[in-house]
Amino acid sequence: MGMYEQIARNKRRTFVMLAAFVLLIAAVAIALGIIFKAGVAIVPIAIIIAIAMAWTSYFASDKIALAASRAVPADGPEYARYHNLVEGLCIAAGLPKPRLFVVNDPAPNAFATGRNPKHAAVAVTTGLLDTMNRVELEGVLAHELSHVRNYDILVTTVAVTAVGAIALMADLGMRFMWFGGRSGRRDNNGDNPLGLVLVILAFALLILAPFAAQLMQFAMSRRRELLADASGVQLTRYPPGLISALKKLQDNQAVVHHATRATAQMWIESPLEQDREAETAAAGGEKKGSWLNRAFDTHPPIADRIAALEAM
């Protein structure tokens, strides 16, 4: 499959994923309506809420992602190399230059965010700038700009916001079920088997929805990382740069302090401690875990990514 066909497929997957998140948010809202006894009137309200959340995610998720990571604009002469490399890569890729940010953190890492190439941003940690030489940093930046060119950034940033919204709504319903709705369930559902079944199904949905949302999010993330590696080295025409950078990331066990499970998929490598420990164990020949644990990985193993690049 050619690169342009892959980009077109990514765009289609983006809209499919947006629709899936809208449906999941609507289902969670309907479950809340059942628990709060709002009746069938909650259905159109839930759909409107879901569409509003998706629309807000589309336009504001980059700001949310940058704020959550505590990224600040990369102003000042100390970031001249950073700006020069991005400018050169953007000229080669035919992309507008994104806004550039820095995260004050010693762990080497980077991410891209935004809804399209015209409204994109790239952020790197101070640790990445200090750790990588010029060709390694160029490889990392080419990887992130490939996320921009391939329209990965839209689905990534929307997924971060959508997963957070689903988790928040589910938590609200769970708290009401346990602390605010016990007496109501005993009084009103005892003589209504159908009502009791609906409450049980709503309760089950509230438990499973956050996990389903994260599985959707992480599965998309793993595929897109491999594509960004490949298209990144096509951009630099120098695979050893990104390979060397990935090896340094593999050896460095520092974690990004302000990263969370919700934002982990944005980074070039998982910024979370448990994921880095699992990666180290896998590199040492130990079993990484069950299929369920691997399903919640935000990135493919670095060793697999390096092997794929070395085979190019």
Four-residue CA torsion sign, 165, 167, 168, 174: positive
Q: Angle at CA 168, nearest 5°, toward 65 and 193?
A: 155
Shared-domain flag, residues 213 and 125: no
Per-residue pLDDT tens digits for 171-197? 777 777 676 555 444 455 555 677 677
3-state secondary structure of 2: coil
Shared-domain flag, residues 248 and 178: no
Separation between Cα atoms, residue 122 and residue 98, nearest integer Å = 7
Q: pLDDT at position 85, please? A: 97
Predicted TM-score of the model (pTM): 0.76
Shared-domain flag, residues 26 and 97: no
Residue at a domain's end among 188, 218, 248? 218
Shared-domain flag, residues 106 and 224: yes
Can you spell out the DSSP letters for 160-179?
A: HHHHHHHHHHHHHHHHIIII
**pLDDT > 90? residue 25:** no
Structure tokens at 159: 């997924």
Strand pairing category for 71-73 and 110-114: unpaired
Q: In what order do the strands lie in the sheet with 99-103?
A: 71-73, 99-103, 120-125, 110-114
Shared-domain flag, residues 106 and 184: no
- Residues forming beta bridges with residue 278, ordered by sequence position: none
Q: pLDDT at position 57, please? A: 73
Average pLDDT over residues 114-138: 95
Q: What is the DSSP letter of 72?
A: E
Q: pLDDT at position 7, please? A: 61
Residue at a domain's end among 170, 190, 218? 218
Shared-domain flag, residues 148 and 224: yes
**Domain extent for 191:** 3-67+156-218
Shared-domain flag, residues 305 and 161: no
Chain mean pLDDT for the chain: 80
Query: Which residues are tagged catalytic?
Result: 144
Separation between Cα atoms, residue 246 and residue 27, nearest integer Å = 40
Where on the phi/psi map is residue 114: left (φ > 0), alpha (ψ -120 to 50), or beta? Answer: left
- List alpha helices for 71-151, DSSP H: 80-93, 126-131, 134-149
Shared-domain flag, residues 293 and 224: yes
Kindly report the CATH number assigned to the domain that includes residue 139: 3.30.2010.10
Shared-domain flag, residues 231 and 115: yes
Shared-domain flag, residues 133 and 168: no
Q: How far is CA 129 from the centre of its chain?
A: 22
Per-residue pLDDT tens digits for 225-283? 888 998 999 999 999 999 999 999 999 888 888 777 667 778 998 887 655 555 555 55
Q: How far is CA 135 from the centre of its chain?
A: 26
Count: domains in the chain? 2
Shared-domain flag, residues 232 and 304: yes
Residue at a domain's end among 168, 203, 218? 218
